Amino acid sequence: MKLCGIFSIAIFLVAQISAQYISPTPMVTKKYYLITLAPVNWFKAFNHCRSMDMNLVSITSKEENDRIIKQIQDENHQDKDFWTSGNKLGSNGVYQWMSTGKVVKFTDWAQGQPDNQFRENQHESCINIFNIGRGPGAGLMWNDHLCSAELYFICEQDFIQYGYCVNQTC
């Protein structure tokens, strides 16, 4: 009887500690998909990603940019140009991520870019990643390009994983 009482108290204490200090915490991570079946213009790239319940990629930090560049290199596509969702089509010169509506803050423009070239009756207004040609696997940076140009593209998808935080430390 005494042992049973101690056991009950122990369960009660564990339950109290669990309720108070441990909680499942959602953590969002992104996965990137390099779409290299056929080059398409920026508008088609955006639509293709949406049609697969994904978004044309938005890049908001150096860490994210580094991950994407590494993936391009790991998949041996560093010789290709890729669309991102960055553009200034509707914002009077201010670049925004079409997939999120947020202003582009972190940037990784190649030297001399964005140069806003005017060709084929339009200004360069969409952001792509390209190899500036400093050797194999190096020099993948950003450029502003004609949105009508046909390039490969990168879709992104959010994945939610649940971790556990103890005493608010995850």
Residue numbers of the site for Ca ion (CB under 5 A)? Answer: 113, 115, 124, 143-144
The two tokens of residue 85 are 């969702």
Min dist. Cβ of residue 130 to Ca ion (A): 9
For Ca ion, the closer CB: 66 or 115: 115
- Adjacent-strand bridge partners of 169: 166
Under 8 Å between Cβ of 163 and 62: no
For Ca ion, the closer CB: 63 or 115: 115
Neighbours of 169 (CB within 10 A): 6
For Ca ion, the closer CB: 124 or 156: 124
For Ca ion, the closer CB: 54 or 98: 98
Min dist. Cβ of residue 115 to Ca ion (A): 4
Min dist. Cβ of residue 25 to Ca ion (A): 42
For Ca ion, the closer CB: 32 or 130: 130
Min dist. Cβ of residue 107 to Ca ion (A): 13
Min dist. Cβ of residue 170 to Ca ion (A): 41
Q: Which residue's Cβ lies closest to Ca ion?
A: 144
Strand pairing category for 122-123 and 96-97: unpaired
First vs last C-alpha separation in the chain: 39
Q: For tokens 């564990």, what's the residue?
A: 14
CA atoms within 13 A on the CB side of 90: 8
CA-wise closest residue to 163 among 24, 9, 15, 5: 24
